[in-house]
Amino acid sequence: MVRGLLNKLVSRSLSVAGQWQQQQLRRLNIHEYQGAELMGKYGVNVPRGVAVSSVDEVRKAIRDVFPNESELVVKSQILAGGRGLGTFKSGLKGGVHIVKADQVEDLAGKMLGQILVTKQTGPQGKVVSKVYLCEKLSLVNEMYFAITLDRNTAGPLIIGCSKGGTSIEDLAEKYPDMIVKAPIDIFKGITDEDAAKVVDGLAPKVADRNDAIEQVKKLYELFCKTDCTLLEINPLAETSDKQLVAADAKLNFDDNAAFRHKEIFALRDPSQEDPREVAAAKADLNYIGLDGEIGCMVNGAGLAMATMDIIKLHGGTPANFLDVGGNASENQVVEAFKILTSDEKVKAILVNIFGGIMKCDVIASGIVNAAKQVALKVPVVVRLEGTNVDQGKRILKESGMTLITAEDLDDAAEKAVKALGI
């Protein structure tokens, strides 16, 4: 939920082909049950819970972990928000339920292996491979808490709201004065004054103020020591026994820190990610999947952005952002073509290369080899300029491939859109 709010609080978007698209960051996203376990290790109060992946495990968990509980919370685990208001493709409404203990097994069985569609998953939804069984807490107040990275202050930013459990974007829109923001000096770390400012903004009703301050400091410690890019708790709740509890857990981590957090990065769940982006990451390609019809392969992020903008200008829509970089190998070009052609929505491919460090003949050889390995069923428009351009054009010509050549970027975009037949 924090994503929409942070688009306003922290500039973290990019303009793609005339539309605002969320910038994909190279970051690890883990499930709620994994985040709760990690929070517990840092002394953060979390509900007692266990993740299960089969009905047999559900029975065992109820018997061993919750023998005396009359009610439990059953939470579907997918890497997307909006689960509570989501709908399973099977017809079951809601990905989060509070039910009697004797109904947990039946409900979990209806969730496991099914596809849950939420406002963040898109219509394709995501498969539920695990459900998280938690004790039902007696909550007296719900608040919102998050820590993210703020480019404006070049450090962590704590965001809080005295209302929680619902969309933070809606709360920020309706009650902007209820949002508290506390930038933290990365060199000094969080002070008691910083933590107190956050707690006072959250305005807890029953929790001890000093205990709440300590919980905020522990959350900040977790954020820094594990190289988080986002820590979000919605709701951060108060219980009837006056405890401050993280009743939800959303954690993202900086991929650049993977080398020093191997145990955390081992938690990655590729089944929840866009398979195109997983394949691109393995090939060390910069790829972001979009929803258009023209697949793009470009060298250089700036040129890739310009290519998508000009496609849009001519009435088309880009299917992706794909920057092969300035030193791509022939094999990487082949992998790039495999990713583009695996997208059923792609009806044409535009290759736009301005060779500097990247040599046009390498790109051309990659295109030819890719055509031998994958069935090219869509038109391919190629614009090559720069280093070894003549060799590149000769390789393409001698390959016997049916290609549409272009003289410049504008010409290439126009021909790619025309190839769609629109």
CA separation for the pair 13, 388 (Å, rounded): 35
Output the CA angle 399-380-20, nearest 5 degrees: 150
357 annotated among ligand-binding-site residues: yes
Q: Name, in order, each residue with C-beta under 8 angstroms of 193's C-beta and a sequence gap of 6 or more.
A: none
Does 84 appear as a known binding residue?
Answer: yes
Known catalytic residue at 169: no
Annotated binding-site residue? 234? yes
Amino acid, res. 247: A
Q: Do 337 and 315 meet the contact criterion of CB atoms below 8 Å apart?
A: no
Q: How many residues does the chain have?
A: 422
* 155 assigned to a ligand binding site: no
- The string of DSSP letters for 190-218 reads --HHHHHHHHHHH--SSS-HHHHHHHHHH
CB 228 within 8 A of CB 29: no
Q: CB neighbours of 402 closer than 8 A, spacing ≥ 6?
A: none
CA nearest 79: which of 340, 296, 269, 226? 269
For helices 360-373 and 389-398, angle between their N-to-C axes, nearest 10 degrees? 20
Q: Does 122 belong to an annotated binding site?
A: no
**Is 49 annotated as contributing to ligand binding?**
no
Measured CA to CA, the distance from residue 142 to residue 162 in angstroms comes to 7
Element (H, E) at 275: helix 275-282
Instruction: Report which of 282, 334, 321 is spatially closest to residue 23, judged by C-alpha positions.
Output: 321
Question: Which member of 232, 238, 293, 414 is catalytic?
Answer: 232
The response to whether 356 counts as a known ligand-binding position is: yes
Q: Is 232 a catalytic residue?
A: yes
Q: Is 366 annotated as a binding residue?
A: no
H or E stretch including 19? strand 19-22
Q: Single out the catalytic residue among 33, 132, 144, 287.
A: 144
Token reading at 120: 């963040």
What's the distance, CA 70 to chain centroid?
A: 36
User: In the numeric block, which tokens belong to residue 137?
Assistant: 């807490």
Answer yes or no: is 152 a known binding residue. no
The answer to whether the peptide bond before residue 235 is cis (omega within 30 degrees of 0) is yes
Please report the sign of the dihedral spanned by the C-alpha atoms of residue 296, residue 301, residue 303, residue 306.
positive
Which residues belong to the annotated binding site for substrate? 299, 356-358
Which residues belong to the annotated binding site? 75, 82-84, 142, 234, 248, 299, 356-358
Which residues belong to the annotated binding site for Mg(2+)? 234, 248
- Known catalytic residues are 144, 232
Which residues belong to the annotated binding site for ATP? 75, 82-84, 142
